[in-house]
Chains A and B, each alone.
Chain A
Amino acid sequence: MNDATRRSSTGRASTARSFVEPGPGQRTLDGLPPSTRQDIERMAKQAGLSLDAALMDELCTSYPAFEAMVRRLPRARDRFDEPAHHLVAPTRVGALEPDSGKD
């Protein structure tokens, strides 16, 4: 932990105790060129989507914002860094009926 001195929009300086650990490296995919329309159409086809021209236009308009988001995720992690996932005891898995939770 370290102290970070900074200034708010009201101009007041503040010293806040920081809980931000040095990150897992700053390596990201930010440097990749944005996907082209042809790239997006190919990815949609590979994903099994069958979109008419209007819907494909929508996807080509919206996808770049999400692509930029995904590419900002840090990548330089230690190989032992675990994902957040649920460890479920086998008894719990067995307790779930095939249709439980369905409406």
Chain B
Amino acid sequence: MSEAASANPATQTPAASASGFELQTVSGLLALFRSGAASPVEVVRDLSARIDTYDGGLHCFVTRTPEIALARARAAEQQWQRGEAGALTGIPYGLKDVICTAGVLTTGQSKILQHHIPQHDSAVEEKLKDSGALLMGKLTTFEFAHGGPSWDLPWPPAMNPWKSGYMPGATSSGAGAAVAAGFLPAAIGTDTGGSIRMPAAMCGIVGVKPTYGLVSRRGVLPNTFTFDACGPMTRTVEDAALVLGAIAGFDDADISSVERAPIDFMRDLALGVRGVRIGWVRHWYDGDVSCHPDVAPAVEQALTVLAEAGAIIEEIRLSDLLVYQDCKTTISITEMFSAYEHEFRTRPQDFGLMFRNKVLSGALIRAEDYFQALRQRLWLSRELTRAFRACDVIATAGWMTPADPARPDKLEKFLRPPNITTPFNIGGGPAMNLPCGFSREGLPLSLQLAAAHFDEPMMFRVGHAFQQMTDWHTRHPSEGMTQ
């Protein structure tokens, strides 16, 4: 265990008022429901009380839906009693507020859609409803899942439950904070360049960007059509596999949806890592650029754990992060401007400053530049494909730093240092962040795993094995949980 990982007293502190169901996992709650030891109604009431107590300081929710959750919980209770429970019957969840819900405010955290109540559910919400899960509310994001944190929007940004005054990462920020805070055992975020994985890293939870085309984007407010993916945020890899199983599937109404045989994401969880080939991309965070000093030792320690369990670790080199980032951002700002062009022409002042500053330039990108970025994307995707022929999984840092302090007075740079998560959006395959330690300030650190297209079972296999051998995912925040 690295010094940073072991020396932090905050990580030893029990979670604030951890007496009810707030720290139960999805699989743990299902076991309780199955045995009759707990009911979905009492879980909803317990979690609602916790949200009442702590969300005033964390701002995880844009809209809460306790009536919907309780109504579904009563139905779930009967389903369990009748032996008719589905995959997630009785499991509370939240949706990032870019995922449309019929009759429930869906704002994109933007003044542009401040009063927007969709008429139709997104495909993801349809699937979760069908699986018996309980919608607890809509979760804070950055404006249209891009460009924050912003303090000039109708709602404040979410804060990190691990430390007061720190950010939870972007852009599925409310989802990451809510799961870490024990408000929800699972949430659904979206990931275009790392927006599920970054808050998972900052909040010490698991965040999964599935293979592009595996989960329907129908009814999700667009960020970048080329990269947008919906995925689960949970406390364990096993839970992520469970939730992904409920939301994956072909959707004829999503042009990017891929028609293929269903994948059993739980299939390989128990296989361990003996003989698994892991390509370790160190130069992205330790060498070409400087990461926080606690990141590299934590990632190296995580890989040591996997190696001792029989994984074969080989250091590999891919293109520099900036090469991936230039390609991704050129595509993203062009597509985002296109998606919100009407509002940029008619009411640009109604976007938040951060979103405006990062997207308005998309109007000036020439068609040939966009096209060259798409050609570059195929080039980089081939590089990853070659790597995945030699490796079952690629491992690297989940993020370069622990959570950042909130700085409402500071305008973020237009282009941040390259994201270590973005290469796998370029490639399109699955990627996942999971906790692997703590900084000396008591903030979570994260390991990133990625696999070939549709090989989520291999990624989950390695991640689950890691969680079986470590206890980082069992730590819970306390210091940032203020009433």
Contact = CB atoms under 8 A, between A and B. Distances in A.
- The judgment on whether A and B are partners is yes
Interface of A: 1, 4, 6-10, 14-21, 23-24, 40, 43-44, 47-52, 55, 58-59, 61-63, 65-67, 69-70, 72-75, 77, 81-86, 88, 92-93, 95-97, 100-103
Contacts of B348: 49, 51, 55
B287 A86 contact: no
Contacts, number: 170
A73 B326 contact: yes
A55 B286 contact: no
Contacts of B325: 69
Contacts of B120: 102-103
Interface stretch (B54-62, B371-379, B434-442, B453-461): B371-379
A43 B364 CA distance: 6
B290 A48 contact: no
Q: Among the interface residues A1, A6, A83, A97, which one has the most CB atoms of the partner chain B within 10 A?
A: A83
B360 A69 contact: no
Nearest to A21: B383
A83 B315 contact: no
B304 interface: no
B364 A63 contact: yes
A83 B378 contact: yes
Contacts of B381: 84
B410 to A, nearest CB: 15
B13 to A, nearest CB: 31
Contact of A83 (B119, B363, B371): B371
Contact of A84 (B219, B315, B374, B387): B374
- Shortest beta-carbon contacts, A-B, top 5: A83-B374, A103-B118, A100-B253, A18-B317, A84-B377
Contact of B317 (A4, A47, A63, A72): A4
17 contacts: A6-B317, A16-B282, A16-B283, A16-B317, A17-B315, A17-B390, A24-B379, A49-B345, A55-B348, A62-B358, A70-B326, A72-B326, A73-B330, A84-B375, A103-B100, A103-B116, A103-B221
B95 interface: no
Interface in B114-142: 116, 118-120, 122
A28 B379 CA distance: 16
B421 interface: no
